[in-house]
Amino acid sequence: MRIAVVQTSPQFGQVEANVTAALIAMESVRADLYVLPELFNTGYNFATTDEVEKLAEPSEGPTYDAIAKFAQRNSCYVVYGFAEKADRIYNSSSLIGPQGLVGLFRKVHLFYREHLFFAPGNLGFPVFDLPFGKVGMMICFDWIYPESARTLALRGAQLIAHPSNLVLPHCPDAMVTRCLENRVFAATANRVGRENRGGVDLSYIGKSEIVSPRGEILKRLENEEAVGIVEVHLAQALNKHINEFNNLLSDRREEAYTTG
């Protein structure tokens, strides 16, 4: 299968233009799964709760409509991040397929001022069975908690789709370890650009990447708008044997982690 990480430069609040820019980038390459950044349609650096309330959408709102049309027309899957209007407002990602909405994830570990604008995710880390393998999602700062990727691996995820808006430098290298320690693929789709709003100045680092279960960086982008595409065999992530004595997941010693 072919995975694409779509590195865009969202303009804050310009939802229609941001969705159109992402679709144009996606049309430029053929993939089975496209991963877009966190909050790719709205931008990230909210200054007020009014703004996030105005820009949040239900999981089957106008952004969903546009992406679902693309997925249906191209018989493919898309993961994208958006501000989800539900009982509360969540920093969410959707997995869309040719038939429509396949799965929803709500960011578990909120970063910095996100605590002012979003409720923490309450759906756990679900995994979805797609024609090419099992896919789970986490969003940006979820990476810093090894439990996120571990939980997805224990639930059978072969690929972690990871919409992001990275501002700190550590995640791209850390994802190499996340993939090695879980023997999974990861596709981190970050954004580029700068948002200086309400006295908070954020610059996004780019470096979207696709990493293999052996920790190989199969593709890493620079800090500019671009699409990275890689052909992978997700079945590689099923083999958790390190040698004839060690199995990555079944050798875990849960009792040792909670006693003593």
The contact pattern for ligand ACM, residues 108-127, with x = CB under 6 A and - = no contact, is ---x----------------
Q: Smallest gap, in angstroms, from Cβ of residue 237 to ligand ACM? A: 24
Asked if residue 165 binds ligand ACM (CB under 6 A), the reply is yes
What is the sign of the dihedral through the CA atoms of 125, 53, 118 and 26?
A: positive
Enumerate residues 6+ apart whose C-beta is below 8 A from 7: 37, 189, 190, 191, 192, 206, 208, 221, 224, 225, 226, 227, 228
Could you say whether residue 80 binds ligand ACM (CB under 6 A)?
Answer: no
* Residue 107: active-site member: yes
Number of H helices, E strands in the chain: 7, 14
Question: Is 12 one of the binding residues for ligand ACM (CB under 6 A)?
Answer: no
Q: Judged by CB under 6 A, does residue 38 bind ligand ACM?
A: yes
**140 near ligand ACM, rule: CB under 6 A:** yes
Please confirm, yes or no, whether 140 is among the known catalytic residues.
yes
Residue 83 to residues 1, 7, 68, 145: CA-CA distances in angstroms? Answer: 29, 18, 17, 22
Give me the catalytic one of 57, 76, 84, 140: 140
Q: Give the count of residues interacting with ligand ACM (CB under 6 A).
A: 7
Can you read off the two tokens belonging to residue 249? 């997941």
Binding range to ligand ACM, per CB under 6 A, among 2-10, 159-167, 213-221, 234-242:
159-167
**82 close to 55: Cβ distance less than 8 angstroms:** no
Least Å distance, CB 238 to ligand ACM, is 29
Among 51, 57, 76, 107, the active-site one is 107
Phi, psi at residue 182, to the nearest 5°? -125, -5
The reply to whether 38 belongs to the active site is: yes
**Token code pair at residue 134:** 């099992």
Point out which residues bind ligand ACM (CB under 6 A).
38, 111, 140-141, 165-167
